[in-house]
A and B are shown apart, each in its own frame.
Chain A
Amino acid sequence: MEAAILVEDLRKTFGRGKAAKPALDGLDLTVRRGTVHGVLGPNGAGKTTAVRILTPLPRPGGGRAEGGGPDGAARPDEVRRRIALLGQHAALDEELSGRQNLELFGRLRRLGGAGAARRAGELLERFGLADTGHKPVRAYSGGMRRRLDLAAGLVTEPEILFLDEPTTGLDPRGRTEVWNAVRSLTGAGTTVLLTTQYLEEADQLADRISVLDGGRRIAEGTADELKSAVGGDRVDVVVRDAAQLDAAASVVGMAAHASRATTDPDRRLVSAPVTDRMAALAETVRALDAAGIDAEDIALRRPTLDEAYLHLTGRTTGPAESPAPAKTAEGESAA
């Protein structure tokens, strides 16, 4: 296996003294060449910090971070030649047109005037911006901006492309546009490191997924592997009467031989892990009927990545506070 990105025991602490807070606390990450690797984590997990150290913007506080060549910290220019970074926020000159932006970045990457102009034309075409290429970026929609941002990263074909939350803040259409653009790259052998808070995005795009929390990797695998970490299949029951939710939960839990069934009052949903799919389904239907609980829908399904994520991080995908436990911070300063 050939690693395009190799991160070992990577550390980075922002702030000094009492205010010091580890953003990365011994992160390990290996990305195979030519694959799309998803990095999933709640706010403040350290995703951006890891990407920035690899690109290489700040220096690491310790450990190894190699992307595009051995020891990025020592030879940043060698790395810069091989990578492109798409930061968490679109990094474009708002006053310039889309075409002017691409030409600017092309010249900076030494394509020369004519070369930069030709490349800008190709990229505008490829990302569906040919018609709006002459307008100032200020007038672009979020999706157009993000596509232009992506195009700017591809002015010279990078070996490794870092995408930091490429679709945050986009509507579903903008998201699909960016997804398609990313998919078009992966056939060409580019290695992509993609951070995201959207599980669906990782599920759709990534070959492998690392789950980050508190500056460390807490799980890694394919989407399927992560999903199985929660357990196997699940049975979902939607009850007609919300008042029967608790009763349904105990009945379904018993029928599925699960220690506990989870409930979602908003959707009137009871969900429980099952081991033997068909037996559990039959048993659930029978038990509900016997208990006089009226079900609107009963279904067997694979766990979602959401559930895997919840199971792994102990929290939902919404905003989370203070990812770094206090005792880790003390351990750092004492060491």
Chain B
Amino acid sequence: MTAHATTTRSTATRPTATHSMADALPAALTMPRRGFAHWARRPGQFAVGLAFPVMMLVMFAYFLGGGMAVEGGGDYTEFLVPGMLALTMAFGLEATMIELTQDINRGVLDRFRSMPIARSAILVGRSLLDMLGSVVSLLVMLGAGWAIGWRWHGTAAEAAAAIGLLLLLRFAMLWAGILLALVARRPESVQAVQILVWPVAFLSNAFTSPDTMPDWMGAVAEWNPMSATAGAIRELFGNPGWGGDSWAVEHSVALAVAWPLVLLAVLVPLAVRRYARLSD
């Protein structure tokens, strides 16, 4: 490389023109608008997305539920529903990945990137849209849980806190999906993630108690962010937990707040940076 080349490179890495949040917001808000138009065009696809976790919930409750006992005593459905809620929130990242990798492949993201809008706007907009979808999905799941006999026994404030924790987990996982999409780029890569989420899901307390797993698995399951959220909302909803007594179990609410925040602090800057350098 020549000296000239080197100097230009260093100017190139200088931070780009800064944008205030007020600048980024209108651009970000066009993304939910675009998403609603998609839902309106493909209501069937949207409905299937909502139905899938409900189907899983019903399968686990009726096909496996009979053979499952809850460690600390209590009804398996009451144990399962919060686990499934946490699972649903964690799994949404595939939908995010599919949409984003399609935008990359079709060059739509390049078109966005060649427009004078804040670097974060498109990604923030994407996450806003997917959060709205998640709220709908969560409401459907709560309704389905209610229908198969799950109830909450805490106060309304506790229930609201539980829902807040679920959405916080979803928000963090969504950004994981965004980052993965930006790194992988190809829509085919989503399949790999679709398969890999399953071991992660089972290495948690969503379906069963970590005590029933081999030691190392139990430890992973206990510290899994999804377990933290599942444990915390079981506590807040007044549903039976799995009765462990480790630090992670005692502090599940604190962990359910801390885990997503830590993930977000890492994932959001990485994703925005990756977005800016998508084609380098």
B279 in complex: contacting residue of A52, A96, A152, CB < 8 Å:
A52
Tally of A-B Cβ pairs under 8 angstroms:
114
| A33 at interface, CB cutoff 8 A | no
| B33 at interface, CB cutoff 8 A | yes
B116 in complex: contacting residue of A71, A81, A90, CB < 8 Å:
A81
Interface residues on B, range: 35 or more
B6 touches A96 (CB 8 A): no
| B1 at interface, CB cutoff 8 A | yes
For residue B115, which residues in chain A have a CB less than 8 angstroms away from its CB? 80, 105, 108-109
A87 in complex: contacting residue of B5, B11, B26, B111, CB < 8 Å:
B111
A73 in complex: contacting residue of B8, B37, B41, B114, CB < 8 Å:
B8
B111 touches A152 (CB 8 A): yes
A92 touches B14 (CB 8 A): no
Taken residue by residue from 105 to 143, chain B's Cβ proximity to chain A (1 for < 8 Å, 0 otherwise) reads as 011101111111100000000000000000000000000
- CB closest residue in chain A, given B103: A93
A85 touches B114 (CB 8 A): yes
A83 in complex: contacting residue of B14, B34, B114, B277, CB < 8 Å:
B114
| A: number of interface residues (CB 8 Å) | 45
A89 touches B107 (CB 8 A): yes
Binds B, one of A58-66, A123-131, A261-269: A58-66
CA distance A18 to B11 in the complex (A): 27
Interface centre among B17, B107, B112 (most CB of A within 10 A): B107
A59 touches B9 (CB 8 A): yes
Main secondary structure of the interface of B (DSSP, over half): helix
Q: B1-53: which residues lie under 8 A (CB-CB) from chain A?
A: 1-2, 4-6, 8-9, 11-14, 16-17, 26-27, 30, 33-34, 37-38, 41-42
B26 touches A107 (CB 8 A): yes
Interface centre among A75, A88, A108, A335 (most CB of B within 10 A): A108
- CB closest residue in chain A, given B278: A57
For residue B41, which residues in chain A have a CB less than 8 angstroms away from its CB? 95-96, 136
| A77 at interface, CB cutoff 8 A | yes
A91 touches B37 (CB 8 A): no
Distance from A44 Cβ to chain B, minimum over Cβ atoms (Å): 17
- CB closest residue in chain B, given A116: B30
A87 touches B8 (CB 8 A): no
A62 in complex: contacting residue of B9, B34, B113, B278, CB < 8 Å:
B9
B11 touches A110 (CB 8 A): no
A107 touches B33 (CB 8 A): yes
CA distance A85 to B279 in the complex (A): 15
B116 touches A104 (CB 8 A): no
CA distance A305 to B102 in the complex (A): 38
| A9 at interface, CB cutoff 8 A | yes
For residue A84, which residues in chain B have a CB less than 8 angstroms away from its CB? 114
| B245 at interface, CB cutoff 8 A | no
| A167 at interface, CB cutoff 8 A | no
Give 9 pairs: A residue, B residue, CB < 8 Å, sorted on A: A59-B9, A59-B13, A62-B6, A62-B8, A74-B14, A75-B16, A100-B37, A104-B34, A152-B111
Return the 7 tightest CB-CB contacts between A and B, nearest first: A62-B5, A91-B107, A73-B12, A80-B116, A91-B111, A58-B279, A77-B17
